[in-house]
């Protein structure tokens, strides 16, 4: 059964929806230099399952190193919302902390991705 979850940045300028076939599943944290600093818990999803519904023009993008990964953030409040993954460019990973009703502090079973070694 497909479930739609809504998310947003802190100031509300950017809103998005994710279409989940198995609920919130496959939670990850990454230890690359950027992810280590932002500290977000993320959930990978096929690229066509995330839709920015408001504020596309309010999204900034940060790229470095190989330029494959694209890290999106709100230009107003700075909150990281999602990114296109370097390890699989056909996927986004979205910030669980942006999803309505989710408390990242209560989550368990989070896999560490060794992005620092990739």
The count of other CB atoms within 10 Å of the CB of residue 101 is: 6
Domain ranges of the chain: 3-117
Q: pLDDT digit string (tens) for 49-74?
A: 999 999 999 999 999 989 999 999 99
CA distances from 19 to 2, 4, 70, 78 (A): 7, 5, 20, 24
Cα dihedral 97, 74, 13, 9, rounded to 10, equals 0
Residue with tokens 């909150």: 79
For position 79, what pLDDT does the model report? 98
For position 88, what pLDDT does the model report? 94
Q: Count how many Cα atoms sit within 13 Å of the Cα of residue 83 in the half-sphere of its side chain.
A: 26
Question: How does pLDDT run along the chain (118 residues), one tens digit per residue?
Answer: 899 999 999 999 999 999 999 889 899 999 989 999 999 999 999 999 999 999 999 999 999 989 999 999 999 999 999 999 999 999 999 999 999 999 998 998 999 988 888 7
Q: What is the CATH number of domain 3-117?
A: 2.170.150.70
Contacts of 87 (CB under 8 A, 6+ apart): 113, 115, 118
Question: If you ran DSSP here, which 8-state letter would residue 35 be given?
Answer: H
């Amino acid at each position: 059964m497909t479930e739609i979850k809504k998310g947003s940045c802190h100031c509300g300028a950017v809103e998005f929806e994710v279409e989940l076939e198995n609920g919130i599943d496959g939670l990850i944290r990454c230890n690359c230099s950027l992810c280590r600093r932002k500290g977000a818990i993320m959930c990978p999803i096929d690229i066509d399952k995330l839709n920015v519904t408001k504020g596309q023009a309010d999204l900034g993008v940060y790229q470095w190193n190989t330029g494959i990964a694209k890290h999106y953030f709100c230009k107003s409040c700075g909150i990281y919302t999602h990114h296109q993954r370097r390890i699989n460019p056909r996927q986004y990973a979205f910030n669980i902390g942006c999803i309505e009703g989710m408390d990242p502090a209560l989550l368990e079973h989070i896999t560490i991705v060794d992005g620092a070694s990739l």
